[in-house]
Amino acid sequence: MIQVEFLGPIGHSDMQVEASSLEQLSTILKQNPIIAPWLDKSAVAINDEMVFRVDTLLKDGDRVSILPPVCGG
């Protein structure tokens, strides 16, 4: 199981998901009508490290963060 958290304005509570790669996670998240519209413009972190490849593998207990567009300052 991995945990997925949705930061900032996405407004969805954390999810527990079975997925062994970001590609699998993508397939699952695309089925959720609240989350799907954010995926094109959101960045991804695993255990608070930004990741940049969709073939990144996931392991049990990983925490994936979905980071929508930012505007600090």
Partner 1 sequence: MEIYEGSLDVKMIFGKWLDEQSHSNYGAFIPFVGTIRDEDDIDGLSFDIYEPILQKWFDGWVAKAKTQGAIVKMAHSRGDVAIHTSSYISAVFSPKRRIALELIDEFVEDFKANAPIWKYDLKNGKRIYAQERSTPMIGSGLLG
Task: Classify 27 as helix, strand or coil.
Answer: helix
From 16, 33, 41, 59, residue interacting with partner 1 (rule: CB under 8 A) = 41
Q: How far apart are CA 42 and CA 59, in angstroms?
A: 21
Q: Tell me if 31 contacts partner 1 by CB under 8 A.
A: no
Pairing relationship of beta strands 15-17 and 49-51 according to DSSP bridges:
unpaired
Q: Tell me if 34 contacts partner 1 by CB under 8 A.
A: no
Phi first, then psi: give them for residue 22, nearest 5 degrees.
-65, -30
Q: Tell me if 52 contacts partner 1 by CB under 8 A.
A: yes
Q: Tell me if 33 contacts partner 1 by CB under 8 A.
A: no
Contact residues for partner 1, defined by CB under 8 A: 7-9, 22, 25-26, 29-30, 39-45, 48-54, 65-73
